[in-house]
Structure 1
Amino acid sequence: MILVERVTKVAILISGRGSNMIALADAISAPDFPAEVVGVIADKKDAAGLITAADMNIATGAFARADYASKAEHETAIHNQLSEWDADIICLAGFMRLLSADFIDKWAGKIINIHPSILPKYKGLNTHQRALDAGDDEHGCTVHYVTAGMDEGPVIAQAKVPILSGDTETTLTARVLEQEHKLYAQALRDVIERQKP
């Protein structure tokens, strides 16, 4: 009997244009990548990334918070869709909504996120401007496991870029984003390899 290795099923959660989602999906489409994207979920019906995902023949789902009476109901709907897709790993890619501890517990060890700073520095928002305001000489991005604490989960991988004289938030954002697109796919591959029996 020939044993066929199970391909890891990845779901990606977005809120906007989904540039990291696109980079992940492109990387995963390579023949040697041990995963497939089973779906993309957005918390906004007009998220541009949903159109892009559909154009890439990826299943999509839109779950606007306003359509649900509570955060718990909203997260239950997302959970049910992820379960229907039989997702193994959830990648947050610009998903701008904090997930509850209850949701995270259901997917413990299976949710990863990319954050635009060298954690533990600059958790939360406006990381690029905060790095500039602090006079830092380097900045970057982090892929980490998601836990109940915001941007506090174990680090999987990091990439750094120098902060150049004359850098603005726009120029720094662009350079970090370029690294995000490379780092996330490699970190996902590493996570999948670690999970193999």
Structure 2
Amino acid sequence: MRKKSASKPVQSVHREEISEADKFGLERLVFFSDAVFAIAITLLALEIRLPEIEGPLTDAKLLQALQSIGPQYLAFMLSFLVIGVFWIGHHRRYRFIERYDSVLLFLNLLLLMIVAFIPFPTAIISDYGNLVGTIFYALTMVAAGLVSLAIWGYAASHHRLIDPHMSAHQIRRETILLLTTPIIFSFSMGVAFINTDAAKFTWILVAFTRLLLPRPDDD
């Protein structure tokens, strides 16, 4: 009498192989994303340039030149903060995402494209902090926020790519956190028609939105 081959261990090994492949692929995705975020932040600093100083360089002229690029310092710090918030959120959500597919890869690449673009609107508001420049910057951040929301919405829908044990409360909290960024920057565009400086001030709220929500036990 022939013995039946045990298929269960084979299936178990196959699932482990898929899990290892997903883990390796996600690590590559996260490493690549971290590199793009780091490059974008580096490019922000490269946008800070001293104006050309005519005649002999003196301490007084250098001090005057440094003072004249105050808007560039502020734009750098603002975008550094915003990119940092996006990176922290990206890092946090990929703690819950366990698998990936072609749609997630595309959405993540779309987000990285916008992040890599951020130094350009940063240069715009540092040199032209008017209504058009302010709205252009805010629109860029709204786009980044909406794509981040799309990534989470796709991954979390019916626990498609996330930890199956993640509670509905955790999923909802992450969704609310992601909604705050596009809402704040959309609101700032309306404020910009009244006062562009006030509109820029509202952007700082992005860094504090996470403090407004109750922290779950496993956060």
TM-score w.r.t. length of structure 2: 0.27
Q: Report which of the two structures shows the higher radius of gyration computed on alpha carbons.
A: 2
- If each structure's strand is expressed as a fraction of its own residues, which one has the higher value? 1
TM-score w.r.t. length of structure 1: 0.29
